[in-house]
Amino acid sequence: MDISLIFKIASIGILLGILNIILDKADKKEFSYIVTLVGVIIVFGMVINLISRLFDNIRAIFHLY
């Protein structure tokens, strides 16, 4: 696992936090929820990719095809 992935996820979290604060102050709570949902989906996509690679490595190590 690369340390840059952790930085990407952290930067997405910081960006989402800033956007949520800005949208809440502008009374745009519905957009705030949508932005949060999109951010969570992006991070889940990154994590699912890592889990897929993990299972591929486990299959290769134990010759499970």
Q: Are 20 and 36 in contact (CB under 8 A)?
A: yes
Between the alpha carbon of residue 30 and those of residues 14, 20, 46, the distances in Å are 19, 10, 25
For the chain, the domains span 3-62
Residue 2 scores a pLDDT above 90: no
What pLDDT does 64 receive?
81
pLDDT tens profile 11-56: 999 999 999 999 999 999 899 999 999 999 999 999 999 999 999 9
Question: Residue 28 and residue 7: Cα distance in Å, rounded?
Answer: 28
Residue 8 scores a pLDDT above 70: yes
Residue 63 DSSP code: T
The whole-model pTM stands at 0.79
